[in-house]
């Protein structure tokens, strides 16, 4: 990746290392050959009920993404242990982490319970590590957030999911979905009825798909940071100096 030419006169930035400073350009974003495989999406939902409305909305979202040409995996949280209560090689933990590595975009959909996301939703996110070796399994990947409510429309859960998405260094799309009185929005077969709520889910999945196409190849550059480059350079210098002693 090209950095600032050290021969170029830098502004008065005494705390910046010119060799590690980057001047973003469109060339950096357009320099990669675009991927040709179908965009890969991991969908998570936050309820274990037999008739789980967060799962039903998630399944509708999955159908839409597949119709748009995506490859979809929906994780079933049944049997996933609480964080820190089982080893990392637990089968459900391993399955979730492998899917997080595989995905290029995600959908998180939680019921709102007591004014927040459910513990089941948070448990899934907590099992996705910030680091796997030198790789961050969520960094730079796209995210869409949705919620269902038993009462009037609310945005508490999606707002919390946005905070978590930022913490996981994900590119959370602007649009979102909140389905109020979800028990009225599905037929006996579990399919979502025509409504403005359904159309919003279509909007959100369409936006997620577009953002994923736009950013998946540029994600390594988009999330490349000066502070991390400097830290890596310092660590490399330290290792070299130790070997020379």
Virtual torsion, Cα 169, 174, 180, 183, nearest 10 deg: -60
Q: 10 Å Cβ neighbour count for 183? A: 10
pLDDT at residue 150 greater than cutoff 70: yes
pTM to 2 decimal places? 0.87
Do 130 and 168 touch, CB atoms closer than 8 A?
yes
Reported as a single tens digit per residue, the pLDDT across 165-187 is 999 999 999 999 999 999 999 99
Point out the least confidently predicted range of 25-34, 120-129, 150-159, 223-232: 25-34
Reported as a single tens digit per residue, the pLDDT across 196-239 is 999 999 999 999 999 999 999 988 888 888 888 887 766 755 65
């Amino acid at each position: 990746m090209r950095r600032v030419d050290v021969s170029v006169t830098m502004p008065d930035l005494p705390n910046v290392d010119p060799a590690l400073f980057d001047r973003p350009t469109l060339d950096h974003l357009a320099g990669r050959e675009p991927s040709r495989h179908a965009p890969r999406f991991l969908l998570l939902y936050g309820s274990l009920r037999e008739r789980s409305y967060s799962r039903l909305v998630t399944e509708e979202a999955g159908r839409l993404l597949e119709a748009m040409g995506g490859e979809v995996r929906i994780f079933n949280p049944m049997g996933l242990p609480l964080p820190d209560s089982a080893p990392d090689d637990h089968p459900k933990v391993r399955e979730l982490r492998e899917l997080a590595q595989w995905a290029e975009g995600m959908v998180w959909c939680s019921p709102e319970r007591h004014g927040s996301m459910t513990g089941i939703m948070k448990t899934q996110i907590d099992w996705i590590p910030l680091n796997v070796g030198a790789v961050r399994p969520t960094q730079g990947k796209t995210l869409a957030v949705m919620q269902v409510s038993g009462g009037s429309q609310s945005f508490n859960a999606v707002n919390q999911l946005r905070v978590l998405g930022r913490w996981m260094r994900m590119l959370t799309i602007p649009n979102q979905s909140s389905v109020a009185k979800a028990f009225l929005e599905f037929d006996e077969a579990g399919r979502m009825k025509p409504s403005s709520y359904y159309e919003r889910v279509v909007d959100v999945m369409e936006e997620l798909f577009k953002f994923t196409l736009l950013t998946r190849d540029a994600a390594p550059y988009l999330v490349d940071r000066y502070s991390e480059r400097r830290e890596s350079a310092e660590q490399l210098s330290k290792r070299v100096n130790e070997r020379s002693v």
